[in-house]
Copies of this chain bind each other. A is one copy, B any other.
Amino acid sequence: MRDHIKIPEVLAIAGLGQMGASFAMAVRKFLPEIRLSGWAPSQQEAEKAVELGIVDEASTNTKKVLSEADVVMLAMPISPLIDFVNDHVTEFKIGSIVTDLSSVKSDIVDGIRPGLCEQGVHFIGGHPMAGTEKTGMENGDADMYTDKVVFLTPFCTDDPAALSIVRELWRSIGGNTFEVDAVDHDVTLARSSHVLHINSNITTHVCLQAPNKDLAMLACGGAFRDTSRISSSNPDLWVNVTKHNKQAILKAMDETLDQVSHVRSWIEGEDWDSLYKFLAEGKALRDDWWDSFNKLDKK
């Protein structure tokens, strides 16, 4: 943390699944001076988080957790997150900072920012490009956010100090923060993440529901393993993401349909030159991305 920014003393994580637990574990590792408190919907989860050393204390009592925290990290699916904040909006500490790690930003900003602002609470949206197909605090990882891209979606009217604190929190635990417009974020992520999850799931259906099921099970190898990995993700989570980024997702699906139709017509018409050109372009795009993905340094 930079000297001129006040380090928050108490950081609360509301939601102790894989993403929230990983954030807590990262703060514990890189900013051990911060006191960590957790909110979970069940007593069992709250106790487990303390037993596993993920947070210093945990409770199912929102008022207790929210009113004592300088920073609150909201780590739950989008619809429950919006309901959680609106149901408990008066319980946050005045002047505290609320942030999140949801992969859709516009609906979050629209859904919770006005209510928080009215209470004198800052909100800075966030989205780390991290996570796996697994779930639960037992799959948490203190290094989940190391060297990962973290998008922040501040408003021009946000308090610069609040933005700085959220930015420095992420940088301190190893993230590379980038500030982007919430709508641009959602349009881009519809392609690079949301439709990717839907298409991976479709791939799994097409591959494994082949006429000869036993043969299909054997015929899926390393290429299937990688392209289908994210189809093992939590379906609840992805229905929720889809609900909250519907228009951008539909647009990205239409583009996918167009591209599949083009490629199909080249194959049907035996236009092998066009197919070659398309595949070679895709390879060049991917190779180029891979280079930049590997070169991305902490900034």
Contacts and interface: CB of A to CB of B under 8 A. Distances in A.
Interface string A203-231: 11111111110011111111111111111
Counted per complex, copies of this chain come to: 2
Interface residues of A, number: 94
A223 B293 CA distance: 13
A250 interface: yes
Q: Which of A255, A260, A281 has most B Cβ within 10 Å? A: A260
A163 to B, nearest CB: 18
A198 B263 contact: yes
Contacts of A235: 276, 279-280, 282-283
A51 interface: no
Contacts of A221: 129-130, 148-149, 192-193
A117 interface: no
Interface stretch (A9-17, A22-30, A40-48, A264-272): A264-272
Interface of A: 129-132, 148-149, 151, 178, 180, 184-185, 187-189, 191-193, 195-212, 215-236, 238-239, 242-243, 246, 249-250, 252-257, 259-261, 263-264, 267-268, 270, 272, 275-276, 278-283, 285-287, 289-290, 292-293
